[in-house]
Structure 1
Amino acid sequence: DEVLSEDNIGECDALLIAINPKDTVEFLNSHAQMISRKTLVIDCCGTKRTVCAEGSRLAEKYGFTFVGGHPMAGTHKSGFSNSSGDMFIGAPMVLVPPVFDDIQLLDRVKKVLDPLGFGFLHVMTAEKHDSVVAFTSQLAHVVSNAYIKSPTAREHKGASAGSYKDLTRVAWLDPGMWADLFICNRDNLLRELDTIIASLGQYRDALEAEDFPALRELLREGKKAKEEVDGP
């Protein structure tokens, strides 16, 4: 094994890029001419539209193969010291291929990723990916980060349990990386923020009015939605 450099990048059969979206675009633009036509390039960014558009453009220009990717696994801690050899075992891997009917390409990608132990590969468009992760991941990080800013958080010890831990875990994040992800996907994230702000307003209005039936119905609707989405 060698450290990747401009001298040996052209020898790679596969190249996985796991850096921020903005840095990935810069890396691809500065190294595309050095990448061999035999190389399969897979990015691992948390947003796909901008990266996939640029990756596909450069792949067509220089002749290598580019596939967008997003491993749906991780922890709230970052850096090599927090890496784990079994992090991806059983986890889903989202793929955004240039075309959706190239079975040989998907088989090639599968063979490259097999050693990582992903549970399954989920193929979708860049647009669909960014729309979904705005809710499943990015909104959760915003809510967690905002929630922990309550002055009451300093008084939680001895009076908190699983709910507090679950909701605050991802508040411990990499500010630069997540700011980049949020801005790259701002249209979808703004939509999800507007939705949850409007929903929270309904709960607040019911509380302020001491409207027990309205509050109970809001809670019932939320419970029903959870059951429909994930089961009881």
Structure 2
Amino acid sequence: MITKDTRFLIVGLGLIGGSYACALSKQGFHVDAIDLQQESLDYAKAQGMIKHGATLGNELIQQADVIILAVYPNAILPWIKQHQSLIKTNALLTDVCGVKQGIVEDVQAILRSDLEFIASHPMAGKEVSGVQYADDTIFHNANFIITPTGNNTISAIECMQEFAELLGFANISILDPMEHDKMIGFVSQLTHAIAVSLMNTNDNTHLVDYTGDSFRDLTRIARINEVLWSELFFMNKDILIREIEDFVAEINHLKNTLQNNDEKELKRLFVQATERRKLFDR
């Protein structure tokens, strides 16, 4: 249960970590932060997002009731290994990572028995990074996914549901880590792969003065953090490769439809896409 006495520690003050800090501090919660960049900590403190910040923060770790690991995927397990001896008994840990398999089980396998790690994924963001772009409104009407395992307690799941509600998420779902990664491989990673591939198709920079909304909408997420997304793609590569193969098959079907002058099938594809897209406008 989250109360006004709950102390939050955010490890990693990027866009999501900073937006979490902004949302929680606005509601009167005590929020501390650890980040390798002193400039990020100074900015967050000046903006009233956090009470205290440190680049190491052993004391902050000892005081935290809820620790949010808003760091790159490959940094989660090493951070816990290095710092879990400092964490107070019964503290709850969570993350913001876009891939769960290979993280959740590994963390839970090495975690102290008096601590609990429950993974979660805020389906929100921007095409920019850094605490200076923190914006708590990105969570409003967004989706939030909790990915518990059999090692998690009901109380931890309920705590994360309460946490998501506090931040303004409109839809809160519970998936196991494998279901999450299958879903995210399609709705997030494949879409980023398509946007990146579209921008890398020939040299299209000379078209900047001629594009309309359709091109800008399709390629907005091609402004990508190459370090973060390389980790995410490789961690989920088997699922993502299958999604890419399915997409290539569909593109080839559309190409063959044109080559065969099959107007009826082309219209059917358009109608099917339109009907499916309507479901996302609810």
Task: Confirm or deny a common fold (TM above 0.5).
Answer: yes
CA distance in 1, matches of 2:252, 2:99: 29
Which of 209, 230, 244 is the matching residue for 1:179? 230
Distance 1:28 1:35, change over 3 A: same
Residue aligning to 2:160:
109
| Deviation per residue, 1:24-68 (Å, 9 max, x gap) | 122122222222222110111000111111222133x34201100
Q: Is the CA contact (8 Å cut-off) linking 1:32 and 1:58 kept in structure 2?
A: no
- Paired position in structure 1 for 2:115: 64
Q: Deviations over 1:72-114 (max 9, x none)?
A: 1001111112111322123221111234994432332334444
Q: Report matched runs for 1:54-93 at 5 Å.
A: 54-59=106-111, 61-93=112-144
1:38 matches 2:90: yes
- Equivalents in 1 of 2:52, 2:275: separation in Å? 53
Which residue in the other structure is 2:52 paired with?
A: 2
Name the aligned partner's letter for residue 95 of structure 1. Answer: I
- Structure 2: 5+ residue stretches without partners: 1-50
Aligned amino acid, residue 136 of structure 2? G
Is the 8 Å Cα contact of residues 207 and 215 (structure 1) preserved in structure 2? yes
User: In 2 relative to 1, CA 89–223 (structure 1 residues): closer, same or farther, beyond 3 Å?
Assistant: closer
AA partner of residue 160 (structure 1): T
Letter aligned with residue 27 of structure 1: W
Asked if the contact 1:37/1:65 (under 8 Å) is kept, the reply is no
Match of 2:73 in 1: 21
Q: Is it true that 1:230 corresponds to 2:280 in the alignment? A: yes
Q: Which whole-Å CA distance do the structure 2 matches of 1:231 and 1:76 have between them?
A: 21
3-state secondary structure, aligned to 1:8 = helix
If the length of structure 1 is used for normalisation, what is the TM-score?
0.88
Residue 173 of structure 2: aligned partner: 122
- C-alpha change, 1:116 and 1:217, in structure 2 (3 Å) is closer
Structure 1 stretch 50-59 or stretch 37-46: which is displaced more? 50-59
TM-score relative to the length of structure 2 = 0.74
Mapped contact 1:145–1:171 kept (Cα < 8 A): yes
5+ residue gaps, structure 1? none
Distance in 1 separating the partners of 2:246 and 2:155:
41
Say what the alpha-carbon RMSD is for the aligned residues: 2.3
In structure 2, what is the Cα distance between the partners aligned to 1:113 and 1:225?
A: 28
Aligned-residue sequence identity (percent) comes to 23
How many equivalent residue pairs? 230
Q: In structure 1, what residue type is equivalent to 2:160?
A: V
Q: Is the 8 A contact 2:164 2:172 kept in 1?
A: no
Equivalent residue number for residue 34 of structure 2: none
| Residues 15 and 41 in structure 1, CA contact (< 8 A), matched pair in contact too | yes
